[in-house]
């Protein structure tokens, strides 16, 4: 972020402390801020490195650069995590009034931020080449490589094939089985193909499971992310036999299965998910656990019907976050601990403020570089009652 003539300029492909020459790509004389892209680095940061991918970085006259898939390939992995930590700190300071020491850590099995993306939707050029779009653009850059994609994505030959009858092509490299390609037809009126189901395997301390997932459904894209997040959630919730568990925005049951194992048949897990296909897969994935109930519907509406008390809660909402209504309803159920999995630190910080207003405090925050070479991170926040649960219940009775 720079300033010019009193206005903020957001400069892609630069690093804090650098002096660069940049060209304005968006905004004019009346704009509150401008967007720009680096065209030359005058004084580089010690954290700067040469991008691994020829498509990364600003667009150049020789045809290199321009892809919007990675924003931070020009920084070392350590520097990337430091920048992400600063972003998370800033969001919590502004939106929740909390000054936190944030450390961003890699997920299990990460290899210098390369070869990790197991799900990629490639756009298609007019002449049938698979590619990705520049930042904030509808154009398509045909690719000859993509170093952040899982090797099986590239080995599928998606970048060599002719896709001229398609508007896009999804490629999925599941942890079980071979890569799957799902072409999406270009012509209007043509139905999308039937989407296959893939199998993902996740292991945690003391257990493992296989999950049926739609090839176009939601699943963590880093190979180490799902296992890392499951173990973290289990550690902070510490579910006990007989506990009543809420799993909100449950997807295909990633957390519901290990939680069901932990609470045993004397416990109960209610998994709530809004996507019908994900609900079908969640029911399949939890068949072995009759004490798991899967409800398909909006979390807000389902929570209004929940009675009694939840012992522990995990929620993994979309990027927009859970919102005040959900947070307040959860607090009213008085769980002893809540694990909030978030892909957007701003939404999490906002919901943290709601939780504090509702009698809970942030007891821990883990942040993961689950999307290396990009500015995106995954957070797992832990909330506990700000006062002793027994005292709170006594005061309300």
204 and 304 co-located in one domain: yes
Mean pLDDT of 120-139: 95
- Give the domain-ending residue among 144, 165, 193: 193
Q: What share of the chain in percent tops pLDDT 90?
A: 91
- Strand ranges of the sheet holding 378-385, from the earlier edge strand across to the other edge: 104-106, 360-369, 378-385, 337-342, 312-315, 244-248, 268-273, 292-296
Task: Please say whether the dihedral angle defined by the alpha carbons of residues 30, 34, 35 and 38, taken in this order, is positive or negative.
Answer: positive
**77 located within any domain:** no
Query: Is a pLDDT exceeding 80 seen at residue 395?
Result: no
- My answer on whether 233 and 169 are in the same domain is no
Please check whether residues 357 and 209 belong to one and the same domain.
yes
Task: Classify residue 381: in a domain, yes or no.
Answer: yes
Cα–Cα distance list, 397 to 244, 327, 337, 386, 387 (Å): 22, 22, 21, 18, 15
The neighbouring-strand residues paired with 75 are 48
In a domain, 7, yes or no: yes
Summarised one tens digit per residue, pLDDT across range 233-245 is 999 999 999 999 9
Verify that 315 and 347 share a domain, yes or no: yes
pLDDT score of 392 more than 80: no
Question: Does 74 reside within a domain?
Answer: no
* Same domain, yes or no: 274 and 358: yes
Catalytic position from the list 53, 70, 146, 343: 343
Residues 385 and 352 in one domain: yes
Average pLDDT over residues 146-164: 97
Which of the residue ranges 190-204, 269-283, 321-335 would you say has the lowest mean pLDDT? Answer: 190-204
The number of helices, as runs of H, and strands, as runs of E, in the chain is: 9, 19
- Structure confidence by residue, pLDDT tens digits, 12-60: 999 999 999 999 999 988 999 999 999 999 999 999 999 999 999 998 8
Q: Residue 289 has which token pair? A: 């656990």
Q: Would you give the DSSP letter of residue 82? A: H
| pLDDT for the residue 388 | 61
Q: Is 152 helix (H, G, I), strand (E, B) or coil?
A: helix
Q: Give the residue from 393, 375, 382 showing the smallest Cα distance to 91.
A: 375
Whether residues 272 and 215 fall in one domain: yes
pLDDT of the residue at 188 = 63
pLDDT per residue as tens digits for the range 194-240: 889 999 999 999 999 999 999 999 999 999 999 999 999 999 999 99
33-43/7-12 β-pairing:
parallel
Residue 187, in any domain of the structure: yes
Are 371 and 317 members of one domain? Answer: yes
Can you read off the two tokens belonging to residue 344? 């957007």
Residue ending a domain, among 161, 193, 225, is: 193
Among 259, 320, 315, 314, residue whose Cα is nearest residue 285: 259
Q: Respond yes or no: is residue 343 known to be catalytic.
A: yes
Q: How far apart are CA 129 and CA 144, in angstroms?
A: 10
Split into its structural domains, the chain has a count of: 3
8 A C-beta contact, residue 346 and residue 378? no
80 inside domain:
no
The whole-number average pLDDT for the span 262-269 is 98
Q: How many CA atoms lie within 13 A of 186 on its CB side?
A: 13
Residues 241 and 360 in one domain: yes
**What DSSP element (H or E) covers 292?**
strand 292-296
Mean per-residue pLDDT of the chain: 94
238 and 304 both lie in a single domain: yes
For the chain, percent of residues with pLDDT exceeding 70: 96
Is residue 262 in a domain? yes
Among 193, 228, 247, the domain-final residue is 193
Q: Is residue 280 part of a domain?
A: yes
Mark whether 125 and 227 lie in a shared domain.
no
Whether pLDDT at 307 is above 90: no
Q: Structural domain of residue 6, as residue ranges?
A: 2-48
What was the pLDDT predicted at 195? 87
Task: Answer whether 0.75 is exceeded by the pTM.
Answer: yes
Residues 167 and 220 in one domain: no
Q: Residue 286: give its domain's CATH number.
A: 3.40.50.150
């Amino acid at each position: 972020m720079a300033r010019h003539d009193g206005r903020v300029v957001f400069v892609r492909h630069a690093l804090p402390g650098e002096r660069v020459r940049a060209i304005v790509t968006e905004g004019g004389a009346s704009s509150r801020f401008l967007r720009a892209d680096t065209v030359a680095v005058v004084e580089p940061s010690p954290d700067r490195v040469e991008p691994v991918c020829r498509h990364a970085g600003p667009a150049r006259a020789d045809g290199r650069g321009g892809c919007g898939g990675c924003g931070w390939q020009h920084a070392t992995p350590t520097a990337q995590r430091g920048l992400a930590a600063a972003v998370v700190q800033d969001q919590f300071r502004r939106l929740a009034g909390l000054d936190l020491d944030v450390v961003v850590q890699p997920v299990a099995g990460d290899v210098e931020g390369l070869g990790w993306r197991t799900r990629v939707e490639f756009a298609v050029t007019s002449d049938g080449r698979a590619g990705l779009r520049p930042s904030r653009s509808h154009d398509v850059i045909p690719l000859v490589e993509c170093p952040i994609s899982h090797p099986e994505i590239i080995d599928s030959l998606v970048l060599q094939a002719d896709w001229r009858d398609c508007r896009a092509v999804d490629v999925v490299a599941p942890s079980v089985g071979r890569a799957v390609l799902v072409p999406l037809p270009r012509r209007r009126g043509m139905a999308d193909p039937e989407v296959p189901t893939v199998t993902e395997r996740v292991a945690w301390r003391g257990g493992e499971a296989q999950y049926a997932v739609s090839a176009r459904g939601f699943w963590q894209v880093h190979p180490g992310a799902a296992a890392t997040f499951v173990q973290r959630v289990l550690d902070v919730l510490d579910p006990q036999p007989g506990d009543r568990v809420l799993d909100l925005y449950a997807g295909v049951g990633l957390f519901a299965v290990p939680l069901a194992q932990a609470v045993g048949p004397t416990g109960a897990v209610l998994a709530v998910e809004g996507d019908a296909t994900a609900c079908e897969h969640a029911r399949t994935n939890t068949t072995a656990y009759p004490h798991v109930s899967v409800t398909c519907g909006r979390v807000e509406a389902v929570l209004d019907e929940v009675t009694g008390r939840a012992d522990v809660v995990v929620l993994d909402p979309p990027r927009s976050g859970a919102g005040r209504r959900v947070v307040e309803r959860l607090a009213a159920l008085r769980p002893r601990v809540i694990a909030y999995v978030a892909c957007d630190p701003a939404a999490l910080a906002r919901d943290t403020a709601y939780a504090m207003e509702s009698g809970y405090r942030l007891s821990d925050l883990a942040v993961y570089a689950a999307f290396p070479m990009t500015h995106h991170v995954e957070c797992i926040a832990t909330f506990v009652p700000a006062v002793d649960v027994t005292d709170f219940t006594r005061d309300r009775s």
